[in-house]
Amino acid sequence: MEFIPASETARTEVLDYAREQIRVYGVDLGTLPDDHNIWDSPENFITEAEAQGLVWSLKGFELQVNDDAINFNNILIKII
């Protein structure tokens, strides 16, 4: 099978879609209650991230990281 590189337009469209649709979820481990269940399933991790307000689009995450607006000391990140 021959590899056919994507056009620059197609590549840009895919990256734009990913930046809008992919979500980055964060959980501040320092604020978790003792009886948390974030390790049980991705859904539990997402629920906790949403409760903590630590959810970004990929583009929003990229912008905040570049602006040093996110404190990563205790935050566990998952890209879904």
pLDDT mean values, one per 10 residues, the chain (80 residues): 69 79 93 90 95 93 92 90
In a domain, 32, yes or no: yes
Q: Torsion over CA of 31, 41, 73 and 80, rounded to 10 degrees?
A: -130
Q: What is the domain extent for residue 27?
A: 23-79
Quote the CA–CA distance of 53 and 10 in Å, as a whole number: 33
In a domain, 5, yes or no: no
Q: How many domains does the chain divide into? A: 1
Quote the CA–CA distance of 48 and 1 in Å, as a whole number: 44
pLDDT of residue 17: 81
In 3-74 the beta strands, taken as DSSP E runs, fall at 23-28, 55-57
| H or E stretch covering 77 | strand 75-79
